[in-house]
Amino acid sequence: MVTLAEVAQHAGVSASTVSYVLSGKRSISTTTRQRVEQSIRELGYHPNAGARALASSRSNIIALMIPLRTDMYVPVMMEIAIAVATTARTHGYDVLLLTGEEGPDAVRRVTGSGLADAMILMDVQLDDERLPLLRHTDQPSVLIGLPADTSGLTCVDLDFTATGALCVEHLASLGHRDIAVIGEAPAVYERHTGFAERTLDGLRSRARETGVRLLHRPCEGGYDAMAVTLARILDERPGTTGFVVQNESAVEPLLALLRQQGRAVPEDVSVVAICPEQVAVQASVRLTSVAIPAQEMGRHAVERLMAKLDSRGTDEVVLIEPELTVRASTGPAAH
Amino acid sequence: MVTLAEVAQHAGVSASTVSYVLSGKRSISTTTRQRVEQSIRELGYHPNAGARALASSRSNIIALMIPLRTDMYVPVMMEIAIAVATTARTHGYDVLLLTGEEGPDAVRRVTGSGLADAMILMDVQLDDERLPLLRHTDQPSVLIGLPADTSGLTCVDLDFTATGALCVEHLASLGHRDIAVIGEAPAVYERHTGFAERTLDGLRSRARETGVRLLHRPCEGGYDAMAVTLARILDERPGTTGFVVQNESAVEPLLALLRQQGRAVPEDVSVVAICPEQVAVQASVRLTSVAIPAQEMGRHAVERLMAKLDSRGTDEVVLIEPELTVRASTGPAAH
DNA sequence: ATAGGATGTCGAAGCGCTTCGACAGCGAGT
DNA sequence: ACTCGCTGTCGAAGCGCTTCGACATCCTAT
């Protein structure tokens, strides 16, 4: 294993000079720099991460806490994780993957051990037990998702309230008066996941404003659960002509069931999905949808974090504006 | 930040004693140990990761390289990643998330800097450019997936050859004589991803043995691509009664299309899927399938790695035996 | 009674790096 | 000619931990 000292000797300079070449924290003459860089290349030198962390008390690692659960949005989580990892790399950081399993202890461990310089939390509950810790530590953090109380925290998320409003807006403007919302699994609502509730708020308030009737039903993924849910909805509100779906694994089952019942999309009923772009495009009907901008969220979170690490940038909530793309699943309401 | 020295002082012992309490590498009297542990708890001490890594030249971190691409098996990747992370934690290790983006350089960087003690590589190509590096370094590694030449490497994977054979076997035993294979996207075959080709080998050789005709067609995910592919298949081989699907995002489109054409499953045609359990269960028809045991693969990989880190355990290939679960999508061939 | 082996604890030497203060050398301003 | 202030380089201290050899105690076997 090549060390700094060996590089220094090879280049005929002192260790500190090599260090300054590497960090750029002091000016170095061009000739010296080139000589050192040459030696680094020839010897295949890589700075030792542990030594570096010890001496500088910065690990150049950020921790990413992902949910252990896989009952929702798996591809979204994955996409965010990948975006975080690649964006972090462009800033010279690596990413440590933590699962939610350890809960608040993970936060303590990482903060206490100096393993990571900062952290990104995904799948934040409205009243998340990790939040008090984050507020107390001086370690920078960014949440992907919005808790109930965001004071003293930096958060990045899609504006789900606006998303909900946008969906109702679209259907209402097409003349739909009875709209059913097919939501995430009941468990998601039970543990008060922010985005689900905020979407609901947006849906409801815009429904009120536009005088549209709304029926919200949580739904486990899959064909069978969807069949039961749909039957109930049509039983309670036979005149339903618009659907908003916020549950990836209910999308295709819903379309299949509608087809099977002879309800044509978009002639008889309209469907708006809140889902990743790919799902909307690959579905059996190209879906009018509001995309969940996973990459953008991951990227944003890292950028915020870097700003905090450089002590520019303050606590604030970044809400990404939703965009509704009209495709082939929505049309004027039949009357 | 609390240090070892502070704990030592608080407990009235030397720093080395505290260290030995922590590591258990030398015997410590019960009274001393308890006193030290008490101090650790009271002060909320967490060993500094960097210092530890520097002094011991072990970081207690394993690197996990995941594919950057998200054109296949996203949930599987995610599940593996989570299984790796949680299993690693039970061994006192954390997981560093690397994307394939950096390619072989990532291997060099991690090895050279001592950032991680070992690594797990996913999405291994048959002739992966990272392999020579792995063979040369003394850093332990485990591959999830099988390259062409496994000498000097430890690999964990589902036995895809046996998987392919099993699928044909099942359909053949039900009397199907014409089987179509709907595969991954063409790009997956073009970059010679091992599992896809090995599945094909298994399918073909068993087809030969059982005298069954096989037609293999790669397929992009989604409804439209599937429609085109299916039309071609039925054009070339109108008598096809059995399908093997190895492409998550083609499963539901296939079922929808078959339904639409009036081909009942399983009465008219049978479908076997190679996919995660969840997909098979949640599909519109409960699918006979060979499960991709993501968790098991992740767990296995970590266990192997730990064995190598303790210098028990040798290079070897662990192939997980496939299991076919019969559900509602396969039945006797119509004649 | 005494050597000899356990057993438990300590001091000190690093691990490879960053960073601070010191300082040599040089051109510019008086 | 002399001082002043740069610029570029160096030496040394120290980050918080592990680990090795040394050593003091105590118990057991002779």
* The token pair that represents B6 in the structure block: 């502070």
Domains A4-47 and A61-158+294-320 share a fold: no
Q: Which two tokens stand for residue B118?
A: 């070992």
Please state the CATH superfamily assignment of the domain spanning residues B4-47 in this structure: lambda repressor-like DNA-binding domains (1.10.260.40)
| Local confidence band at A71 (pLDDT 50, 70, 90 cut-offs) | low
Q: Which nucleotides of C are covered by protein (CB under 7 A)?
A: 7-12, 14-21
Q: How far apart are CA A240 and CA A271, in angstroms?
A: 11
Question: Counting beta carbons within 10 angstroms of the beta carbon of residue A268, is it exposed (0 to 12), middle (13 to 18) or buried (19 or more)?
Answer: middle
Q: Answer positive or negative: Cα dihedral of A140, A142, A147, A150.
A: positive
Q: Which residue has the higher pLDDT, B123 or A65?
A: A65
The answer to whether A253 faces chain B, any CB pair under 8 Å, is yes
Footprint of strand C on the protein (CB under 7 A): A 1, 3-5, 15-16, 19-20, 22-23, 25, 45, 47-48, 51-52, 54-56; B 12-17, 20, 26-29, 31-33, 51, 54-55, 57
Strands A324-325 and A288-291: antiparallel
Task: Look up residue A101 and give its DSSP letter.
Answer: G
Smallest Cα–Cα separation from B244: which of B205, B211, B214, B277? B214
Token duo for residue A58: 């910065």
In chain A, residues with a C-beta closer than 8 Å to the C-beta of B81 are 81, 97
The ranges assigned to domains in chain A are 4-47, 61-158+294-320, 160-291
pLDDT digit string, tens, across residues A144-179: 999 999 999 999 999 999 999 999 999 999 999 999
What fold, for A160-291? Rossmann fold (3.40.50)
Give every residue of chain B whose pLDDT is below 50, as ranges: none
Helical ranges in B4-92 per DSSP H: 4-11, 15-23, 30-43, 49-56, 74-90
The separation, in Å, between residue B54 CA and nucleotide D26 C1' comes to: 37
| pLDDT attached to residue A266 | 95
CA dist B218 and B300 (Å) reads 30
Residue A70 pLDDT class (50, 70, 90 cuts): low
Two tokens, residue B84:
């790796």
Q: How many CA atoms lie within 13 A of A308 on its CB side?
A: 23
Percent of chain A whose predicted confidence (pLDDT) is above 70: 99
B279 touches chain A (CB under 8 A): no
Burial of A138 (0-12, 13-18, 19+ CB in 10 A): exposed
Give residue-wise pLDDT tens across range A36-62.
Answer: 999 999 999 999 999 999 999 999 999
Q: Which SS3 state, helix, strand or coil, does residue A22 take? A: helix
Q: Where does A61-158+294-320 sit in CATH, by number?
A: 3.40.50.2300
Question: How is domain B160-292 classified at the CATH fold level?
Answer: Rossmann fold (3.40.50)
A208 vs A202: CA distance, rounded Å? 10
Determine whether the interchain pair B46/A108 forms a contact, defined as Cβ–Cβ distance below 8 Å: yes
Measured CA distances, B49 to A57, A95, B93, B115, B279 (Å): 10, 15, 12, 11, 40
pLDDT at position A141 over 80? yes
Specify the pLDDT at position B27.
Answer: 93
